[in-house]
Structure 1
Amino acid sequence: MRREAQRRLIEALVVDDEAASLRIHGGAVLRAPGFRFAGTAANGVGMFDFLSRTHADLVILDLFMPQMDGLLCLRKLRAEASSVDVVVISSGSRKETIRHCLRMGVFSYLIKPCPLDLLLRTLSSYRRFFETITYAEPGELSQASADRLLEMSSGRHSDPISGANSTSEKTLEGVRSALRLCSMPAAAEEVAEAAGISRATARRYLANLVRLGEVSMEMEYRRAGRPLH
């Protein structure tokens, strides 16, 4: 019988130039089960100084900060192939900004002022994702397991979808290509077949494209009343 690995607390760093945000977001980390509040930084320079000395699994990151803003932080993290995950909490609500962050692999994007319960749900989603990745049995995943992992990495709740890492970005591009091949309007089942993915995965990525403003979705009801996407 395999002995279960001892689970450690997730180290979370809060990066924001506003004292109130540091206090509120840090307080959420303290309340979230399975997390440890690792510390704070007032900008990207402070964040990278912290990461050079101390480990963090997750950074809760503002975008608009002096010296080094959040977008520069994301670019530098990805250029360094850092394993640190990021949840963005920002007042920036422009579609282009959100899309840019999603493409750089943020786990979730929350818009200020962020309700405490939404942040706690996001942290709970991240915890499930982190523990699945960290403590899963070695070996290959089934399609169903891969779908569940992608769902967790998208921080599924009312905030914009995220988690567009290198693997999911390839799938997203595959869905875009499939849409170009399908006659419009196309059902999720048709897109799934063209892209070579499951219908559940196709629906999730199509929902992502809807949120990004690239496609629109309509509901068509069959005789039995079941909606057809």
Structure 2
Amino acid sequence: MYKAIIVDDNAPVAEINREYLMKCGEFEVTAMFKDGFEAMEYLKNNSVDLAILDVYMPKMDGMQMLHKLRALHNPVSVIMITAANDLMVIESSLNSGIIDYIIKPFSFERFSSAIEKFKKRAGFMKENKAERLTQTKLDKLLESHIEASENEPLEKGLNKKTLETVYTWLTEHPKDRVTCENLSGQLKLSKVTIRRYMNYLIGEGKVQSTVDYETGGRPSIIYQLK
């Protein structure tokens, strides 16, 4: 049985996370918090295996909590579940050794795939705790993570064929800096549709985004192949 905490100031979302975690099995949610400060206070006297962490929260946000955990060498595994889709936030999270990063809104299938990643790693560490790892054993763990990532289902509402269309256009124009409006005209898809697929590709680390404030009006988000 794994112990977990959920840190999210949005009570309905936190409850969905709890329900999904219970549905995955083998978990006990020992506490739920509305900000990182409360969670860090709890972790001073309690150990858990997994923290499900939001980014945008009061007092101490998710990124601050994540960095503090690592500075204190706390071994808790972290899955980020958040509306934050800024590339810098995603990159910083990945560099801090998180298990997975899920952008809201999300499906149970996407949630469960992240939990499976955690279980595989946790199980591997438990089985080999008393051993010095061989390269073969380590490669087996790393290969399983790569395979899991490649076979993950797309988020609800996304279509693999449409994703391939968007990504193919980007790979054919690697130096182009485009907006959703640009791509909408090129691919004959709605701006809302383009934005969803671009956000997905940002989360996958394949596309980067910047904000152009010099448009004379509302700032535009510029996308480019990473």
TM category, shorter: 0.5 to 0.7
Name the CA shift for 1:57/1:27 in 2 (closer, same or farther; >3 Å).
same
Q: Which runs of 4+ in 1 moved over 6 A?
A: none
Q: Which runs of 5+ in 1 are unaligned?
A: 1-8, 161-209, 218-229
Write out aligned runs for 1:169-188 (5 A): none
- 2:35–2:61 CA contact under 8 A, matched in 1: yes
Task: Report matched runs for 1:112-151 at 5 Å.
Answer: 112-136=104-128, 138-151=130-143
Mapped contact 1:15–1:61 kept (Cα < 8 A): yes
Name 2:197's counterpart in structure 1.
Answer: none
Q: Tell me, yes or no, if the aligned pair for 1:63 and 1:90 is still in contact at 8 Å.
A: yes
**Is 2:42 the counterpart of 1:34?**
no
Q: What does the per-residue CA deviation read over 1:53-96, in whole Å, with 9 as the maximum and x for residues that have no partner? A: 32211100000001100010011011101111100001011222
Unaligned runs of 5+ in 2: 155-203, 209-224
Quick one: which amino acid aligns to residue 67 of structure 2? Answer: R
1:55 aligned residue: 47
TM-score normalized by structure 2? Answer: 0.64
Q: Distance in 2 between matches of 1:119 and 1:104?
A: 20
Match of 1:20 among 12, 23, 27: 12
Equivalent in the alignment of 2:169? none
Q: 1:141 Cα shift?
A: 2.6
Task: Give, as a single letter, the amino acid of the residue that structure 2 aligns with 1:54.
Answer: N
Q: Does the CA contact (< 8 Å) of 2:100 and 2:114 recur in 1?
A: yes
Is the 8 Å Cα contact of residues 80 and 102 (structure 2) preserved in structure 1?
A: yes
CA deviations 1:135-192 (Å, max 9, x no partner) are: 22633333232122234566635489xxxxxxxxxxxxxxxxxxxxxxxxxxxxxxxx
CA distance in 2 between counterparts of 1:29 and 1:137 reads 25
> 1:77, 1:85 → 2: CA distance?
10
**Residue in 2 that maps onto 1:66:** 58
1:30 match: secondary structure: helix
Q: What secondary structure is seen at the aligned counterpart in 2 of 1:13?
A: strand
Q: What is the alpha-carbon distance in structure 1 between the residues aligned to residue 129 and residue 87 of structure 2?
A: 38
Secondary structure of residue in 2 paired with 1:211? coil
Instruction: Please show how residues 190-201 of structure 1 align to structure 2 within 5 Å.
Output: none
**One-letter code aligned to 2:118:** Y
Task: Pick closer, same or farther for the CA change 1:11–1:153 going to 2, 3 Å.
Answer: farther
Deviations 1:19-39 (A, max 9, x none): 011100011111112211112
Q: TM-score, normalised by structure 1?
A: 0.63
1:83-110 CA-to-partner distances (Å, cap 9, x unmatched) read 1110000101122211111011111100
Which amino acid is 1:121 matched to?
S
Identity of aligned residues (%): 25
Report the CA distance shift for 1:44/1:152 in structure 2 as closer, same or farther (over 3 A): farther
Say if 2:84 is the partner of 1:92.
yes
Distance 2:92 2:81 in 1: 14
| Cα distance in structure 1, aligned partners of 2:101 and 2:59 | 22
Task: Tell whether the 8 Å contact from 1:107 to 1:153 is kept in structure 2 after alignment.
Answer: no
Number of residues of Structure 1 aligned to a counterpart in Structure 2? 160
Contact kept, 8 Å, 2:53 with 2:80, in 1: the verdict is yes
